[in-house]
Structure 1
Amino acid sequence: MPDRILVFYGSYRSDRAGIRLADYAVRTLQARGCDAELIDARKLDLPMLDRMYKEYPPGEAPATMETLAGKIRQADGFVFVTGEYNWGMQPGLKNLTDHFLEEWFWRPAGIFSYSAGRLGGARAGLLWHGTLAEMGMVVISSQVTVGPIAQTLDADGNPTGDAGKSLERSFARFADDLAWWTQAAKRQREHEEPPF
């Protein structure tokens, strides 16, 4: 069975440069044999967090939330593609993740960050590292930072120039790291039930 990887993207902007990186991640993971799927927060359009999924009585959560909860539970690992807003997180992606908790547990997560500037969203990536760990995920040590994004990926999400070559190199290491942890977590879940 191929690894089932969900790639989360959270920008709600009309001109979304980061979708190039999300598409690149999905496409490249698929080329490596993963069953990768893009989860786009803007398309799901969950409401601002009022009730978490677990706070609804069984069968009463909104259909979109119910479907996404099932996908998260069935996934082997996650990739979070995040822009940096004023040294912070994208609110759309944070809102999506906060609707769930136990659904995330005991799976690895990796972070792709991007920005229009040279730091490639590294500050947002750092914030996400602690948040994802608090939500029960094992955050892999490899992180991909892309900046300036417009000089790294063209409008179709294809790597361009030296920055694009650098992305391809860093993505290969990232994907190997994610695959190792995904396989380790799968084997451990088969061997022993998680403690909670």
Structure 2
Amino acid sequence: MSKPKIAIIVGSTRAARFADVPTQWIAKIAKSHADIDVEVVDLRDFPLPFFDEVASSAWVPSTNEVAQRWQKKVAEFDGFIFTAAEYNHGPTAVLKNAIDYAANEWNKKPAGFVGYGSVGGARAVEQLRLHAVELQMAPVKSAVHIAWGDFLAVRQGEKKLEDLDHLNQAATALVNDVAWWAKALKKARDADVVDEEIKAA
């Protein structure tokens, strides 16, 4: 079985976003994991309109070309780690919109989260866990929460995420969980494909 492929999805597109910092940090940790391949996926490269389809792509194919390209990209992966800024006690609109623009492509794959904000992005992450369950993802227990004090220290250049042992420990646990579940669920999905081929023969 080939290595599971994990996407680190940058969950903000603002010009002044902080997301690049945790993205580069978690990507470095993830890429050091021997059992997975890792790719950073930036929502800036997929300028999706606010959801404007007849229905979810689970029921009706999307007509928007960017949406189609996004769905193909999501389908390439066996698991996901999302960076999650918290705005007004929830995730960014652009991330929720991107999640809504795919459907079956998310199914039966693990999801992990790197949150940041006033309470470490915890409220955004909790909402994203609910969205993940609805899309038949498997959100893992481990998560990274970059609390306000650490966020400000890093943003102002006083510290780097690499310097913060508690965050590095959380990141390692998160990557380990996503890698384990990605491997297990990939094996299960591959078995389902074989079963369907046997039934069709």
* TM-score of the pair, normalised by structure 2: 0.83
Matches within 5 A, 1:47-126: 47-51=49-53, 52-53=56-57, 55-56=60-61, 61-62=64-65, 64-115=66-117, 117=118, 119-126=119-126
Tell me the C-alpha RMSD between the 2 structures: 2.5
The change in CA–CA distance for 1:67 and 1:165 in structure 2 (over 3 A counts) is same
> Is 1:143 matched with 2:143?
yes
Q: Deviations over 1:173-192 (max 9, x none)?
A: 11111111111101212223
State the match for 1:134 in structure 2.
134
Judge conservation of contact 1:151–1:160 (CA < 8 Å) in 2: no
Deviations 1:145-164 (A, max 9, x none): 11232425786x95254xx2
Tell me how far 1:56 sits from its aligned partner: 3.5
Contact 1:152 1:167 in 2 (8 A): no
1:28-43 aligned within 5 A? 28-33=29-34, 34-43=36-45
Q: For the residues of structure 2 that align with 1:158 and 1:194, how far apart are their CA atoms?
A: 46
Match of residue 13 from structure 1 = 14
Deviation at residue 44 of structure 1 after TM alignment: 1.6
SS of 1:142's equivalent? Answer: coil
Q: Whole-Å Cα distance in 2 between the matches of residues 79 and 23 of structure 1?
A: 12
Q: How far apart are the structure 2 equivalents of 1:141 and 1:6?
A: 18
Aligned amino acid, residue 83 of structure 2: V
After TM superposition, the score normalised by the length of structure 1 is 0.85
Larger radius of gyration: 2
Question: How far 1:32 sits from its partner (Å)?
Answer: 1.5
Gaps of 5+ in 2: 196-201
The residue matched to 2:143 in structure 1 has which SS? strand
Q: 1:29 to 1:160 in 2, by over 3 A?
A: closer
Percent identical: 26
Report SS of the residue matched to 1:82.
strand
Query: Against the structure 1 CA distance between its residues 184 and 154, is the aligned structure 2 distance closer, same or farther, given a 3 Å change threshold?
Result: farther
- Greater shift after overlay, 11-20 or 83-92? 11-20
* Structure 1 unmatched runs, 5+: none
